[in-house]
A and B are shown apart, each in its own frame.
Chain A
Amino acid sequence: MVVGQETRTIDLTIDGQQVKAKEGATVLEVAREGGIYIPTLCYHPSLTPYGSCRMCIVEIENIRGFPTACTTPVTESMVVNTNTPQLQELRRNILELALSEHPYACLICDRRERCQPFHITLRKTAVTSGCTMCPKNRRCELQEVVDYVGLTEVRLSPIYRDLPILRDSPFFDRDYNLCILCGRCVRVCQEVRGAGAIAFTYRGSQALVGTAFDRSLQDSGCQFCGACVDACPTGALMERSGKWQGLPESTVTTTCGYCGVGCQLNLEIKGGKIVRVAPVLDNSVNQGQACVKGRFGIAEFVHHPQRLTTPLIQRNGELVEASWDEALTLVTKRLANYKGNQFAFISSAKCTNEENYLAQKFTRMVMATNNIDHCARLCHAPTVAGLAQAFGSGAMTNSINEIKDAACILVIGSNTSSGHPVIALEIIKAVRNGGKLIVANPREIELCRYADIWLRHFPGSDVALLMGMMRVIIDEELADLAFVEEQCQDFDAFRESLINFDLDLAEKVTGVTSDKIVEAARLYATHKPASIIYAMGITQHSHGTDNVSATANLAMLAGNIGKPSTGVNPLRGQNNVQGACDLGALPNVYTAYQRVDNPDIQKKFETAWVCSLDASPGLTLPEMIEAAYSGQIKAVYLMGENPLLSEADAGHAQEALSKLDFLVVQDIFLTETAQLADVVLPAASFAEKDGTFTNTERRIQRVRKAIEPIGNAKPDWWIICQIAKRLEAEGFDFEHPSQIMAEIASLTPSYGGISYQRLEECGLQWPCPTKDHPGTPILHVGKFVRGLGKFTPLEYRPPAELPDEEYPLVLTTGRSLYHFHTGTMTRRVMGLNAIEPEGVVEINPVDASHLKIADGDKVKVISRRGEVIAKVRVTEESPPKVVFMTFHFAESAANILTNPALDPVSKIPEFKVCAVRVEKV
């Protein structure tokens, strides 16, 4: 959807073949597109051309010498020859030079095919001295190139440097004896990932890819994303998992089950197991990139020995194994007694769209209640409420691949590099393209390195900051009043509410100097298109909906909506939190936010499901916990959630769930919450089932079954259908999730055009109302979904709990790159635990010296609700008076401390601000 001038088409001839090309393309790109192979070693589609390996030299009429195809742009009527005897001879000579430093015996051996039966034995050797002993055998690019140029002899004497194999990464080995110095790993690390952990060191015959001062990867800023491994053409960089297993038997493309970016991954399968995972290059949101969790953190949790493989039933205070029939019969029998509002379903943003659809159908139709909710309540409920109110749709307005073209990006309340690493890469791309970056975050996050302005505001002062910026925009007449006039409403009321936000107040409340606020406001208002990106730093407050409204106001004020690379873009946390919301796993709406209290909608669903439905909205997740505590709710069906770690004031949640008459937990592991259950049902992981996830940019993508469910585990959709059928409900006879999607499409306007067939290629972005609708990358084009964009007047409300004498510090929570959510999956991955074994409390050096604590000391963090013990990391990344913890670790569970004060509109608890004190233990 990039809007630009029409690019000119160029006609040229390659190897006698007439081809058409876009202006600006290189000879190599055009040839590859036309199916003509030109050998390359240093070229990689994700990287800027380098032209160093000289393999892609070609002959071009009227051009002297042998230009490299990867660096030569096509011109009109160009005549290119890629495969002449002279070229091949030159390529062989150059390749000989490269191979003199790479074990080449097998590469040119005329009996190498006959060697194959023995290669397994040969691989027991620790030294790779030839292809048959190389883990990259048969997918090595050197082999491909050697075959193509027909090299049969290397006349130079071999040089083997006998470098030690470096095993300092928990996930991959570095054997630089096999390195051909193509520089792809170095370039991908710097150009694409922005990490710069490795570089070329030394020179000439001593040249080597290495880290700064030859330190370990972790010490030199490596994020273990694996991009270097994917970029490596040889066996020099190889992941350890599946290293010696050879080629996979099959490869299945699916959607990553970690965060909301929705990276497309290839799962490589051998012997019924995932042996390797690699990101998909073409036709994917991630364009060949992934993060450490998706790249290296999947196979191990899927095949973890602690996976639940059989149903468990609580007998005499102990969970004992049971058959499916036993467990399902028990669940059915017990649930039959709790129909109506004493039942609640806690659904899961980790499960597929189809499963969430069934969960709400089951709750509403079979259990006759609207008490269904899921963890979106704890992350983006204010987004759904705030953006729906302002724009008419509570989702990311624009797409991920537009971010790189933004002239200005405001990242507020999002540590994108940790929470959504692959989206951070797009932001870095935008900066490299000359875009301005404003980061608003109390903590010094990774992106601050790229920022033009870093606004270090106090936690919970977002409304004051954004309103302060808007005041500047209006005062300096930078607002897009034509847009406001034409497409928005309630502007005057909003403008009046700005009167309270003069710069002095903004500076006082936020702690950001007024000149910085002015600068940021000018930058955002004058560099268009400008995009706002936010995450839970905006939403997880007792005024989360106000924060969201503030971002919406800002975007409308500058006219940054409904155009490419603009918008308000909430980054959704879980892989399918967007889908779980879309499919109605919420107490007040059916699919696609069709309200339960709308009689027409109620009628529509009653007709479709052949039942009568309740028109009163159900309880939200925190309300359910409260109702369980008070005894109002007696039975809970919990699917793929771990509220004991994810709820604010987790201790209270545990008490509440213990009070239930009946608790069913369906999960892939025996989580902290599952240990309280009466019945535990083993679910299949995302790799073991078919379905769809909807990512943060509203793209519905396929999840494909790669392996059979582990043990006796079953897909969640199958389990829900079984229970529903046993409760004698009609309409749960599904053989395959595609049939469920067909039903979803028939009842859900924005998913109306979705079918599995159409999702094959790269998914579709909703709204996609009809079978021939191409999907919608940008919302609100020309007109807001709700008609007119609605400005919301705002006032500043401080966080519900502020520091005082007894609890003098602010605790804010967040995520780490290496762990996910409550750690159910990532804490079972050895490598991730090796990198980050435990949760730490980050504290500013000023506070640390005041409290007389040093880096690595153990401290007790105490709030009004509880206390946890963790190690301290003294760092300036945390501002003075603020301590930071992640919530991934059960043994130092930050949510024991957090404040369950709710946002009045969306009922999200205030995870991001609570008052604590820190004591040395």
Chain B
Amino acid sequence: MKVLVFAEQRAGEFRKAAIEAICAARRLDGDGEVVAVVIGKGIADKAGQLAAYGADKILSIEHDLLDLYSTDGYTTSLQKAVESENPDAVLLAATAMGRDLAPRLGARLDVPVLADVTELSWVDGNLQAVRPVYAGKLMMTVKSNKTPGIATTRPKAFLASEPDQGKTASVTSFDVSLSEDDLKAKVKQIQSEAEGMIELTEADFIVSGGRGMKAAENFTVLEDLAKVLNAAIGASRAAVDSGWRTHSEQVGQTGKVVAPTLYIACGISGAIQHLAGMTSSKVIIAINKDPDAPIFKIADYGIVGDAMEVVPALTEAIKAAK
């Protein structure tokens, strides 16, 4: 079998989730061929590093008009690569980019897309996946009856293997012709987050606050803990709707789905829509003053108490333990 993987990069950096997708393809495909496709500008010399994760062959598609992501430019490029390679499956990471690109690719090729999957396998040559549905309340096993099977892989659901620097692969440049007119929707500007911010969906540690934090300025105690742990800050919808945190930090059904090693929920009750975004965390700590808060039912460790007192003490204790 042959699996083609779209290796997402921004500004020359491969996304962690893209590396995970390549590793997922490698494991799915056993002895088969894994082809990584890199799209952008000035990225060819970085593309070779994907071999270490299991890519047997790397196609690099470069163009001035592909410097920034566009649905039209990237779909056309990826479609050309798929048509030339004829893979049995195409994998993309289920990131903002992958979730935009995959459906468009599927529509062009007239094949369905298995979105945001957490497991992959072959059944009689068809791609089969498990995907969380109904905000994670159920797991659906679904099969694509068309070729190629296209899937987007949920970040952190597939483990990235250790890179094997001994492996190499050829990087072939693949030409596509594009003109300004082909890009109907264009990125005009990118507003980057502050330098050094840890992306929630990629974070290994998350310190998250809810309505129980009571005010925007009280999040400084969470930020202090986050600093010690090298964690990202998350928030419940109540904290976002109160204007204390930005929407990009919201965890849950209408926010982000995260799966860190450690999730610390402070002043969060544990509403079903919040749980939808964080129950895949490896270890969950809840700090809440109400012993009956539902968050305690799913938390591995709970402390009943005032977050404004417990969190600073925890920060000091972790600092001392390090």
Chain A bound to chain B: no
